[in-house]
Structure 1
């Protein structure tokens, strides 16, 4: 006779995995902010930049951001010798495809 499935245990395991993935994503986003130097921006300015990026529909602008982000990750991987800010596929952490505009270069 087959052992009945413990659906409660399976649901709990799935919920635990979802929480771990959410926590990992949050941690990676924090690392990304620090790596880009965006942690030095005032919170209101950072939020405004992210909102503007999320609302942007211009494909050319978004493609420019994507290229700039890809170049950043390639430079970071080359400089550190590790894929700290990349996932297993080599894509940037977060992988939304539309990175916000970076602040002007600092002197």
Structure 2
């Protein structure tokens, strides 16, 4: 005999998972703003810049350029994290081998 499914529990679990994902997304956005130095901008300036970017996002060439710049930013950030971890460990390189997994 088949076990009955508890749809209410499954829906609650999915809702909890969606809330956790949204919370993580907001946290990562805040970390990104801080990492890029955009937290030094006034809120109005940052919002205006984002609105202009969204308006210009219709042009595919711009989007690809932004994507490559973003990938470069994260690659530079990862190498810096690896270098500082290797330096902190006395230069053995073991801590730097893990690098950043972001």
SS at match of 1:73: helix
Query: Which residue of the partner structure matches residue 72 of structure 1?
Result: 73
- The structure showing larger relative contact order (alpha-carbon pairs under 8 Å, at least 6 residues apart) is 1
**Which stretch shifts more, 56-65 or 40-49?**
56-65
**How many Å separate the matches in 2 of 1:21 and 1:8?**
20
**How many Å separate the matches in 2 of 1:58 and 1:83?**
32
Query: Which residue of the partner structure matches residue 17 of structure 2?
Result: 17
Q: Which runs of 5+ in 2 are unaligned?
A: 83-98
By how many angstroms is 1:3 displaced?
Answer: 2.2
**How many Å separate the matches in 1 of 2:65 and 2:5?**
50
Query: Which residue of the partner structure matches residue 43 of structure 2?
Result: 43
By how many angstroms is 1:32 displaced?
Answer: 0.3
By how many angstroms is 1:35 displaced?
Answer: 0.3
Q: What's the TM-score, normalizing by structure 1? A: 0.73
Counterpart mapping for 1:23-102 below 5 A: 23-56=23-56, 57-81=58-82, 82-83=99-100, 86=102
Size of the aligned set, in residue pairs, is 85
By how many angstroms is 1:60 displaced?
Answer: 2.1
Cα RMSD of the aligned pairs, angstroms, is 1.3
Q: Which runs of 5+ in 1 are unaligned?
A: 87-107
Which stretches of structure 1, 4 residues or more, deviate above 3 A after TM superposition? Answer: none
More helix by share: 2
